[in-house]
A and B are shown apart, each in its own frame.
Chain A
Amino acid sequence: MKKRYGILIIIFIFLIAGLSVSIINRFYSLDYLYKLLIKKEFTINPRAAISPEKEYLVNIWYYPFFRTIAAEEGREKEFFQEVFIDLHNKYPNLRLKIRKLDFLEGHKELLEALERGNPPDIYLNFSNDSLIDPEWQIPVEPYLTDQEKAGFYTVDWGKIDRENHFWGWPFLVYKQVWMANGRIPGHRGFIDKINHLEKESLALNYPDLTLLLQLLSLKGLERIQVKDGRLTEESYRKLYEVFQWMHKLRKEQIFSLATTNMEDYFLKEFLENKPVVIGPVNLWLERFLLKKGKGNFNQIYLDGLVQVYTLSIFHQKKYQGDDHSRAVMEVARLMTEKHAGRLARELGLEEPYIDYRDGNNRPDLTGVKRMLQITPDVREYWEEVITPAWLDFWQKGLTPEEVMNKLSNENFVE
């Protein structure tokens, strides 16, 4: 009899515990509680709700992304106006404050604001790196439902866990391209196409470091890793392979210009109709060339490589509360899931989110691969060691061995 009561009591305790967890989980995420109670660190409760009684002001920083694409000035403002109208219907107590950055100083301004602990709530991040600053940035995945997660096709959800967050809402997806103004070899993969180019038919804008990221990604590197101030074996090997590849093209005289100042003339050659392939081509250059070429220029896709522009979400030193963070996320959700599609079409990009609930078919995503990102832990090494070595390779005509020796001998102190 006692034994039976004992079992019933245990079952009862389990039921109560389960029910409690379920109730608590409706208001606080377990991750939030873990960080708050066990790790005792700053954390944000993603279950916090927007208060209808309160006014929220969401600060957004953006770049003039329509410049040179749309004929009329201020198309970006129109876009935000459309977002605001939609937002106002659902949350009349949310307001937007937008600020236009310029391409030259915009990112620096953001870094300075982060230094002061006063970044915007949303930053339209046109770099490929979604994680800028883990101290002030808010991860996005706790705010997503499972259905929503499935819609973000550029994210490898298997790799997102408690320690490895999903930073930033994918906002626009740019399929990586180079451009050709003449015939290109009909080989299957991008690397093969480039390897079969004729003499003097390639010009690279190597100061654009996207090029190095593209080449490393094509060689299969997923993450640059540095340990004790040196590249890990895989990162070293892949970098070496890239230098060897470029050196081979150089030796075979595939480049159409002297590699020391190729970047100053690559566009002139291309537009003056010397048959040449150029790369990398960013979204504005691609639009410019497509318009200029009137159908005579061809895009060469870098297999399925994509660059993902994100909405980075930040909180400020003077924390405005979990409900404010929630409000910011709702603005980003609306921008991403409802308005990014039209914007992507106007900019000639891909939309980042597919809502399968709307009966959309899953597109063929075979080969879609996000380009290598530079994470904050290796950013300094990238800027101070790898970048100068890369430029030296081109400008001083170093061999792959000389560059790699230089890298190995670099005493980098983190």
Chain B
Amino acid sequence: MRKERYFINLILILLAVSAIFPLEMKALLPCECLEDRILELRNPPMEGEDVLLLQERLRELGFYSGRLDEIYDVEVARAVAEFQTENRLEPNGIVGVMTWDVLGEGILPVNRSGKSKAPKGELSIVINTYKRTLTLYADGKPFKTYPVAVGKPSTKSPVGEWAIIHKSKDWGGGFGTRWLGLNVPWGIYGIHGTNKPWSIGRAASHGCIRMHNSHVEELFNWVPLKTRVKIIGERLPIKVNRVLRPGQTGLSVMQLQDNLLKIGIDSGYRDARYGPTTERAVQELEAQFALKIDGIADWNVLYLLELPGEK
């Protein structure tokens, strides 16, 4: 009887851990872009954005003339094998790290300004997802602009004002040679290199900002931790139907910050964090409307900012 109870408890604990652990593991994965998967001929065939990128690149290189349909079929596998033979790789029709890297060779990074001296003064970065560019600013003046790949329409880059909180080297594969992590609260996003340089200038990533490896290496050497990164782009407004409080983070907080700014109250960086500057901005609104001043975005504040959805 006792053994049975222990067994049941053990199962319950395991269930609880398994419920939490996948989430934790996901949060620890670097970049929402995810690592490259290995592409090969399967039944049913593999499908996805990465297959499309492969088809486009093979077509550019003259190995593929089929449809750009995101399906890894026999025709694609044959084109891959031809490419591999041509480039002295094992002609197995399997696209792994080595094949991706060789596919990217010969793509020259576009150096728009040609400057290579380190910038002086306070540095900041503005990423324009419409133009698909990353501009480095020194003391508020544009210093150098790089082409980048940004998030696809289904996995947009996180629009907002962030800071670099992590720097690391040589992850390789889909992340290229350098990684600059951003403090986005709802996922792991960053600026990194790529082994698919032909995707630069397009909306191709899972939300991260991809750069040519040589560019991200240059940027990596210049920008310190805490450098501000502003991502400009489209973000669909969301409705907020819960009271928001200092200390909270997330898209609802971001929307609160957006709507405060819309009426002319600056809540500091639009970083989706309900910090002291957002709290003060809410207090300012409360003071203007003669509400209780507590810095909490309660229902009065939400309604004044037109945040709740229709009931």
Contacts and interface: CB of A to CB of B under 8 A. Distances in A.
Interface of A: 64, 67-68, 73, 102-104, 205, 207-208, 210, 263-268, 271-272, 280, 282, 284-285, 288
10 contacts: A64-B264, A67-B264, A104-B280, A263-B300, A265-B299, A268-B299, A268-B303, A282-B289, A282-B290, A285-B289
A90 to B, nearest CB: 32
A267 B303 contact: yes
B300 A208 contact: no
B283 interface: yes
Interface string B275-310: 000001001100111111100001110011000000
A267 B290 contact: no
Among A205, A265, A271, A284, which residue has the most Cβ atoms of chain B within 10 A?
A271
Nearest to A64: B264
Contact of B288 (A103, A205, A263, A271): A103
A284 B298 CA distance: 18
B261 to A, nearest CB: 10
Given A210-B290, A268-B300, A102 B264 contact: no
A160 B2 CA distance: 92
A294 B19 CA distance: 49
A280 B303 contact: no
Given A266-B300, A267-B300, A280 B264 contact: no
A205 B290 contact: yes
A66 to B, nearest CB: 9
A208 B264 contact: no
B120 to A, nearest CB: 33
Interface of B: 263-265, 280, 283-284, 287-293, 298-300, 303-304, 311
A264 B304 contact: no
A267 B243 CA distance: 14
Contacts of B298: 264
Given A73-B264, A266-B300, A288-B304, A104 B284 contact: yes
Contacts of B293: 104
Contacts of A73: 264
Nearest to B304: A288
Contact of B263 (A68, A264, A265, A280): A68
A205 B299 CA distance: 13
A207 B288 contact: no
Given A103-B284, A104-B284, A267 B304 contact: yes
B264 to A, nearest CB: 5
Contacts of A102: 284, 287
A138 to B, nearest CB: 27
B299 A267 contact: yes
B294 to A, nearest CB: 9
A294 B311 CA distance: 18
A272 B288 contact: no
Given A268-B299, A272-B311, A263 B280 contact: no
B201 to A, nearest CB: 35
Given A267-B300, A267-B304, A284 B264 contact: no
Contacts of A208: 290-291
B311 A205 contact: no
Contacts of A266: 300
A42 to B, nearest CB: 34
Given A263-B292, A271-B303, 5 more contacts: A104-B287, A205-B292, A267-B299, A284-B289, A288-B289
A68 B293 CA distance: 18
B281 to A, nearest CB: 9
10 interchain residue pairs of minimum CB distance: A268-B299, A103-B287, A208-B290, A103-B288, A207-B292, A104-B287, A267-B300, A104-B284, A282-B290, A67-B264
Among A265, A267, A282, which residue has the most Cβ atoms of chain B within 10 A?
A267
Contacts of B288: 67-68, 103, 284
A135 B289 CA distance: 30
A243 B137 CA distance: 61
Contacts of B311: 272
Contacts of A67: 263-265, 288
A61 B236 CA distance: 38
Nearest to B311: A272
Nearest to B284: A104
Contacts of A285: 289-290
A286 B304 CA distance: 11
Contacts of B290: 205, 208, 210, 280, 282, 285
A264 B289 contact: no
B51 to A, nearest CB: 48
Nearest to B288: A103
Contacts of B283: 104
Contacts of A205: 290-292
